Structure 1
Amino acid sequence: MSTQNDDNQGVVWTVLIGVVLLAISLAIGFGLYRTGKGAAPTTAVAGASTGVAGGAAPGAVGTASADGAAGTATGVAAAGGAAPASTADMTTAAADGPSIRVENGVVKFYFASGSADLAPGAADALGDVVKGVAAGQTAVISGYHDTTGDPAQNEELAKQRALAVRDALKALGIGDDKLDLKKPEVTTATGSNAEARRVEVSLQ
C-alpha cells in the first residue's frame, strides 16, 4: 500500500513539475514574442523617419524655390522635414530658412521663399559695413529675387527685404544719409532660386 502511495505521489510531483516548467516556458516564450513584436515597429518607424529625412532635403530645395507667397507654406513644410546636410551649402541653407554670408566685403542676406525675415546674426555680419560707414563710405543695399512666381510680386518682395536690411543698419546707428537703396537694373539674380533670394550690402 505504501509503495502504491509513493508511486502516486511521484506521479503527482512529476505532473506538477511538468506544469510549472510548461508555465515558465510559456511565460518566457510569450515575453520573447512580445519583445520581438515590439522591436519590429521601432525598426519600421526608424526606417520611416530615415525615409522622410532622406527625402525632405531635396523637397525643401525644390518646393521652397517659389518666391511668391503661394510657395511659402509648401516650402516651409518641406523644409521642416530635415535640416540641411551642410550649413556651408548655401543653396540648401537658404532654402531651409534665412541665412547670411560675407563674401569679398559684400554682406549677402538670403531669405526663405515668400519671406522678408532676416537671419539671426545680422549685427555681427554688418560689423565691417558699420566701420566703413564710420570711415566715410556709404552702404549700398540691393535686393534680388528668383525667377519663379509673379514678377511684380517678386520685385515688391525684394524691396521689402532690402528695407528690412536697411532697418537693421539703422538700428546699428547708421543714418539715412549713409544708406543707398539701389534697385539693380536686373532684379532677377543668377544662381539657384535659393541663392537668388537675397539682398546685398556693399560699401562705396
Structure 2
Amino acid sequence: MLDDLDDGARVGVWTTLGLITLLLFGLLGGLGLRQLKGHAAPAVAAAPGEALLEGPLSGDLTGTLYFASGASELPAEAAAELASVKAAVDAAPARKLVLSGFHDTSGDPAMNAELAKKRAVAVREALKAAGVDAARIQLRKPESTAGNGPPEHARRVEIRLVD
C-alpha cells in the first residue's frame, strides 16, 4: 500500500499512525494511573478551618478506644479511658493531643475513611466535654490498617500526646 504513495503521502500516513499510537498509549496509561489511584487512601475532607495532620505517628500513646463495627458512637468503656487521657493532658500543659482514626481495607475505602474520621471527631467532642481545650486537640488523617491483627484494631482511635 505504501509503495504506491509518493514521499509526502508516506510521511503523512506514518505521522498519522504515530499520533494514533501515542493517543492509545496515553489513554491506556491514564486508565492505569486512575486504577492505581483508586486503591490509594481516599482523601477525607476536613471541616472548614480544620486541617487534618499527615505524616507518621509520633508522640506518647495515652489511650486507645475500640469501636463497634460500622459505629462511631463511643463505646461504654470510653469514660475510664478518657479520664486517663484527661489526667495525662492536665499533667502536660505544653503538649497537644493528636487523635488518629483507623479503618480496615474491606468495603468502600471512602466510607471507611469517613467512619474513622467520625470516630476521631466523637472522641474529640468527648474530650472537649471533659474539659480539654479544643485548641490542644488535632485530628490526623484516617489511616488504613494492614489487616493482619485482630478485627477491633481496624476500628480504633489512638490518642497521643505530642510536643
Q: Structure 1 length as normaliser, TM-score?
A: 0.45
Which amino acid letter does the alignment assign opposite residue 126 of structure 1?
Answer: L
| Correspondent of 1:198 among 156, 159, 163 | 156
CA–CA distance in structure 1, aligned partners of residues 69 and 89 of structure 2:
31
- In the alignment, is residue 133 of structure 1 matched against residue 133 of structure 2? no
Match of 1:158?
Answer: 116
Percent identity among equivalent residues? Answer: 47
| Correspondent of 2:104 among 127, 146, 149 | 146
1:158 to partner: Cα distance? 0.5
Greater relative CO, 1 or 2 (CA 8 Å, sep 6+)? 2
Equivalent residue runs for 1:21-170 within 5 Å: 105-134=61-90, 135-136=92-93, 137-170=95-128
| Correspondent of 1:180 among 129, 138, 161 | 138
Q: Structure 2 length as normaliser, TM-score?
A: 0.55
1:113 to partner: Cα distance? 1.5
CA–CA distance in structure 1, aligned partners of residues 124 and 135 of structure 2:
12
Deviation per CA, 1:124-148, whole angstroms, max 9, x where unpaired? 2122321232231211100000111
Q: Which has the higher strand share?
A: 2
- SS at structure 1 position matched to 2:103: coil
User: CA separation of 1:193/1:162 partners in 2, compared to 1, >3 Å: closer, same or farther?
Assistant: same
1:164 to partner: Cα distance? 0.5
Which amino acid letter does the alignment assign opposite residue 108 of structure 1?
Answer: T
Which amino acid letter does the alignment assign opposite residue 133 of structure 1?
Answer: V
Specify every segment of 5 or more residues in structure 1 that has no aligned partner in the other structure, as ranges.
1-103
